[in-house]
Amino acid sequence: MNTRTLTLIASLIGLGIIISFASSSPLQSAGTTAPQGRVEPPAAAPTTIDAGEWRRVVRVVDGDTIVVGMNGNNVTVRLIGLDTPETVDPRKPVQCFGKEASDEAGKLFGVGYARLETDPPQGTYDKYGRLLAYVYIPLNSVQEGLLVNKYLISEGYGHEYTYNLPYKYQAEFKAAEKEARENKKGLWADDACPS
C-alpha cells in the first residue's frame, strides 16, 4: 500500500473512534425558551447541543440546510451566516447556481458526519423550527474540522447572510465573500448566471 492509502485508512479509523465515542454520550437537556420572534423547537428536538459530538448527516436539503440524526430523531439544521440560491422552496423557481451549491453541499456532507456549533445570540431555532448552527465536517489537517458555512461562501456557492443580529463569525464570512467576489468564484463568475 502506498502512503496515501495508509493515511486514508488511519483517518477513517480515527474518525470511527471519534464517532463511536460521540454516539455513546447522550445530549444534555435543559429547559430554554425561544427568543422573541422565533418558534419553539419541535417536541422531539434537543434544547442544547454538545458542540464536541459528531452527528450523522441524514440528508442534504439544499446548499444551506441539512438534516442530522440527534437522539434518535432527524433534526433540520440551517447553516448560520450563509445563504445559497434556492432549489427546494416551492414558492420560488430554482435560482441560478442553486443546483451547484446543493451539489457541493452533497459532496461535502457525503463524509457522513458533521459537528454542530450553535450561537446563543442567534437563538437555537429559526421561525421554521430549524436548528441554527455552524457546521463542521472532518478534515484531516484541521482538528476541529472544516467550517462548511465559511467554505461555501469562500468558494462562491453562496453569500454571507446576516438575519437580524451580528453573529460569531460574521467578519470572517464577509471577508470570505469579498474574496470570492474579487476572484470571481462560483456564482460570482462572469458567466455563472447569464441574464
Whole-number Å distance between alpha carbons of 9 and 3: 10
Residue 74 burial (CB count, 10 A): 13
User: Is 115 in the active site?
Assistant: no
Residue of 78, 100, 104, 160 marked catalytic: 78
Region class of 2: left (phi > 0), else alpha (psi between -120 and 50), else beta: beta
Dihedral pair phi/psi, residue 43, rounded to 5°:
-55, -40
- Any idea of the CA torsion for 180, 76, 147, 159, to the nearest 10 degrees? 10
Q: How does pLDDT run across 130-143, given as a tens digit for each residue?
A: 999 999 999 887 77
Work out the angle at residue 104's Cα, subtended by the Cα atoms of residues 103 and 106, and round it to the nearest 5 degrees: 65
Q: What pLDDT sits at residue 5?
A: 44
pTM: 0.74
**Which residue is listed with cell 453573529?**
167
With cell 470571481, the residue in question is 184
The one catalytic residue among 38, 55, 115, 130: 130
Catalytic status, residue 78: yes
**pLDDT tens-digit readout, 16-50:** 433 333 333 222 222 223 333 433 444 555 555 77
pLDDT the model gives residue 47: 54
* Higher-scoring residue by pLDDT: 74, 49: 74
Sketch out the chain's domains with CATH numbers. Answer: 40-188 (2.40.50.90)
Calpha distance 39→77 (Å, rounded): 14
Check 53, 86, 104, 177 and give the catalytic one: 86
Q: Is 130 a catalytic residue?
A: yes
